Amino acid sequence: MEFVFIGGNLALDLLGTLKWRRTEPLEGLRTPDDAARWAVEAGLVTVPPALTPADVEALRALRESVYRLVEAVRVGTPIPPADRAAVNAAAAGPRVLVSLAGLDARRTGAAAAIGAEVAVAAITLVADLHAGRGPHLRECERQDCTRLFLDRSRGRTRTWCGMSECGNRVKAAGYRARKAAVRGA
């Protein structure tokens, strides 16, 4: 799976590693190598961490707790206490270590550090959304897509998670439907 970072927040980008959440879920974090690659591509670490299958399972569990937390805020329902506790516990873990290697920043961390960084991003996001600060949280309007993203557009009118995948497909489907309607008329 190719990872896409269009959520506008590290925690939302982790949520995007599970595609088509409500229909035919496609898991992007299947192996320790997948999770390590995501952490590098997300900019969390510069050195891929050595992860275990248990680490991947823990990261996926955190992802689902973050999803339920953020979704509750988005739709205005109470935050599930177990998910709040899980995210708070992850945030209390060790953080990614940053050091200078020559003139380059080196970021290293194990699984718990990756989880902590995601949890802190989720907590900050939820607090900002609750306080009415920052951009609007949206879910992609493409029928099957379940990606959440921060709408930073001028009029807060962004409807798709991204043009390259969902926006182009919706527009192309609309075009084909209009052409078919003209031919059928």
CATH of 10-184, one of 1.10.1530.10, 1.10.3300.10, 1.20.140.10, 3.40.50.300: 1.10.3300.10
Model pLDDT, residue 175: 60
Give the integer Cα–Cα distance in Å for 137 and 8.
Answer: 10
Q: Which has the higher per-residue pLDDT, 90 or 150?
A: 90
At 14, is the pLDDT very low, low, confident or very high (cuts 50, 70, 90)? Answer: very high
Contact partners, residue 50, CB within 8 Å, separation at least 6:
32, 36, 110
Q: What is the pLDDT of residues 15-57, one digit of tens each?
A: 999 988 888 899 999 999 999 999 999 999 999 999 999 999 9
Q: What is the pLDDT of residues 132-143, one digit of tens each?
A: 887 788 888 777
What is the pTM for the complete model shown? Answer: 0.85
Residue 73: exposure state from Cβ atoms within 10 A (0-12, 13-18, ≥19): middle
| Domain boundaries along the sequence of the chain | 10-184
3-state secondary structure of 174: helix
